[in-house]
């Protein structure tokens, strides 16, 4: 990221993790009693909507993986348990709320950092 960007602290990540948990719980369907079996219930049946998840594997450079591990250790020291998946999802939540100009700068810095050095013949 650029030097003008604000450092992300554990409080922001904890708040993002809490927001994810709140959204996950609010998206969960409420427990409803099962309708009595009978011929008259076909019209009253509602389709159960299930939130699907996608399996997504990420390849991270060693440096970024170390940063992720270090962040988990810092959160653990503050008695906050978070998995790698939760941290990545919390980061995504923070990116969604980021100003477009800041997001473009962050992406530019990321691409510049991962660009392979040119070989000379």
The enclosing H or E element of 79 equals: none
Q: What distance in Å separates the CA atoms of residue 73 and residue 34, rounded to the nearest whole number?
A: 44
CA gap 24, 27 in Å, rounded: 5
Q: Provide the residue-wise pLDDT of the chain in tens; the chain has 121 residues.
A: 444 445 556 677 777 777 877 777 776 655 555 555 555 555 556 667 777 888 888 888 899 899 999 999 999 999 999 998 899 999 889 888 888 998 898 888 888 776 655 656 5
**94 and 21 Cβ atoms separated by less than 8 Å:** no
CA 68 to chain centre: 13
Contact 24, 97 (CB under 8 A): no
What is the reported pLDDT for 1? 45
């Amino acid at each position: 990221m650029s030097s003008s960007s604000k450092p992300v602290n554990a409080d922001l990540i904890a708040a993002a993790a809490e927001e994810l948990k709140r959204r996950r719980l609010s998206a969960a369907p409420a427990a409803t009693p099962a309708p009595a079996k009978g011929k008259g219930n076909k019209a009253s049946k509602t389709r159960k909507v299930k939130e699907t998840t996608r399996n997504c594997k990420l390849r991270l450079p060693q440096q970024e993986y170390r940063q992720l591990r270090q962040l988990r250790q810092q959160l653990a020291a503050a008695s906050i348990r978070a998995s790698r998946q939760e941290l990545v999802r919390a980061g995504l939540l923070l990116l969604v709320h980021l100003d477009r100009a800041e997001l473009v700068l962050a992406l530019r810095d990321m691409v510049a950092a991962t660009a392979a050095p040119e070989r000379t013949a």
